[in-house]
Chain A
Amino acid sequence: MNTKLKALWGGYGTVLVLAAVIFILLPLSLDLFRLNLVGKYLTYAFVAVGLVLCWGYGGILSLGQGVFFGLGGYCMAMFLKLEASDPESTKIQSTPGIPDFMDWNQLTELPGFWLPFKSFLFTLFAVPLVPGILAFIIAVAMFKRRVGGVYFAIMTQAFAAVLSILIIGQQGYTGGVNGITDLKTLHGWDIRTDEAKYLLYYINGALLIGVVLLGRFVIGSKFGKLLLALRDREERVRFSGYDVANFKVFIFCLAAMFSAVGGAMFTLQVGFMSPSFVGIVPSIEMVIFTAVGGRMSLVGAVYGSLLVNYGKSYFSETFPELWLFLMGGLFIAVVMLFPNGLAGLSNQWREWRDRRRPKAGGTVTPLTAPPAGATPPPAGKDPLPPVASVGGGR
């Protein structure tokens, strides 16, 4: 029981530390410009946390999370853009009252699908639901047909490519390659002021902690165990009476909706949304954040997002020609040296230390050794060495 309590504290302890880092440490140690950058990095963490659930636990690798991040961001951007395009401030256009890029593309009327985004309430629902519904359609189409693994990953990539090409191609409706820019106010509240930036940073942080806690709830439930079970033995789960596809659909949609919230917060904090956050490259980068942080750790994924993006800024500022190579090197190094990411480092370190220490030292690996007095293993069979189970995993 004591160990269980400890584990519980250990679990929430890491979330508390993360909250302290986000709410206290970073705001106190960074100027507003840097803090705003960190806020942007933290919006990617929503995607990374979703990927921990979907990929780390569920074994569903999605290389298209940018689609959902982008759609969430676009939903928010459309609302903000409409608010910024009131007839007064667009009176020099040939058609006042519509977004500027539409006017440049000879549109004379707001397209129908933009109309609902005049309502803030609608937008709030659309941010998670539009990407959620798309994810649902994709997931049902794939998982009910038992498409999985690499094939699913390739399909998600195709979706990322399709959506970014669509957005770029339909310039008059979407703002094209520039995206939706010049966003000013949210319900009359100027999002470009310093106070607004601070407030948005904190809202973003609070939402992120909320998403991490929700993720914890999912992992802690029977559903979480089933995710692990179907990652490792899908057949066994199916023949235990579960409709496996439904479980995959749900976790994929949840991850998509997490990403969408991140996308919307990105738009609010950075002030624009463009197809460069939708396509294949950003989607793969988001997987890298998760891999670096540790794909089995919700909190680790947040640190992974921070670290990789900080590295990206640092490398690109310091070595403008080399930074992509350095990023690639970082990813390869992480995959080869720490397959469980930052979060797996502590376990790996412990294992390494134990291996170096001579066995004569007594009980050094108490982690998962079978309890004394357990049924003796049948003659002729060695008990499995406990080391194999601890950090290595898969």
Chain B
Amino acid sequence: MSAQPIVLAVENLTVSFDGFKAVNDLNLYVEKNELRVVIGPNGAGKTTLLDLICGRTRASAGSIKFKDQEMTKMPEHQRVRKGIGRKFQNPSIYESLTVFENLEVSYPRGRTVFGSLFFKRDAAVRQRIDEIAALIHLSDRLEDQAELLSHGQKQWLEIGMLLMQDPELLMLDEPVAGMSVSEREKTAELLTRISDNRSVIVIEHDMDFVKRIAHKVTVLHQGKMLAEGSMEKVQADPKVIEVYLGH
């Protein structure tokens, strides 16, 4: 795996909110085709890290390089167009649209005002939507309003919306929170399948789930990296045990 090029390089990244450093001098490298899981206790800065990478929060210092391109000054939508996709913690879908329309709106064509006014729903769009819908187990719900979906299905739909854009880096914030056991199974399968040709960063608390999917685990604590490596290595690390059990 070490032969893979580095897709995301986060270096000396710091963000401070009124003096409180939510992320403090962090370094993180994610390779192509890697599925990285970020764990850590509450307030460790996991979500903030994703916010910084996708542009929702501006960095105070440091650099974020995606495919060797500096991201820290780039507006959010530009980062998305470069290939960074972000799933939010709570399912963030368009309830008033149908599942089909949710996916269609996420299709990466017609992203300008006039492009969207004259956007045509052609065969390529339909085909892509059908593919993604099959992947996220929603093929027979396409015409339903998205608000009728169950919580787990909403999570999948949002993942599907991101997949429509075919991002090279996909970031998922607690994708299995609130899911039933069988939904977790399916999600784990889904994540393994979609990390095939892209890099994925997942924030997760469920250790069994992490064990199932992670190639490599990064442990954050108080905005800093505590440990990094395989799940076994990280779990055996005394510092990690201290942080998780000491509280």
A residues at B contact (CB < 8 Å)? 217-218, 221-223, 225-226, 228-229, 232-233, 235-244, 246-247, 250, 368, 370-371, 373-375, 377-381, 383-384, 386, 388-389, 393
Contact = CB atoms under 8 A, between A and B. Distances in A.
Contacts of A389: 145, 147-148
Contacts of B76: 238-239
Contacts of A228: 94, 96-97
B145 A368 contact: yes
B97 A229 contact: yes
6 contacts: A225-B97, A241-B108, A244-B77, A371-B144, A389-B145, A389-B148
B233 interface: no
Given A228-B97, A374-B141, A378-B183, A384 B86 contact: no
B54 A239 contact: yes
A371 B99 CA distance: 14
Contacts of B180: 378-381
Contact of A378 (B119, B150, B158): B150
Given A222-B104, A381-B150, A239 B80 contact: yes
Identify which of A217, A241, A370, A393 gathers the most chain B CB atoms within 10 Å of its CB: A241
B207 interface: no
B116 A226 contact: yes
B148 A386 contact: yes
Given A221-B119, A223-B113, A374-B144, A241 B88 contact: no
Nearest to B106: A240
Contacts of B116: 221-223, 226, 247
B211 interface: no
A239 B85 CA distance: 7
Given A232-B94, A238-B77, A241-B108, 18 more contacts: A222-B110, A223-B117, A225-B94, A225-B104, A225-B105, A228-B96, A236-B92, A236-B161, A239-B77, A240-B80, A243-B75, A243-B77, A250-B113, A374-B140, A378-B182, A378-B183, A380-B180, A389-B145
B101 interface: yes
Nearest to B54: A239
Interface string B176-201: 00001011000000000000000000
Contact of A233 (B54, B93, B101): B93
A223 to B, nearest CB: 4
Given A240-B80, A379-B180, A235 B56 contact: yes
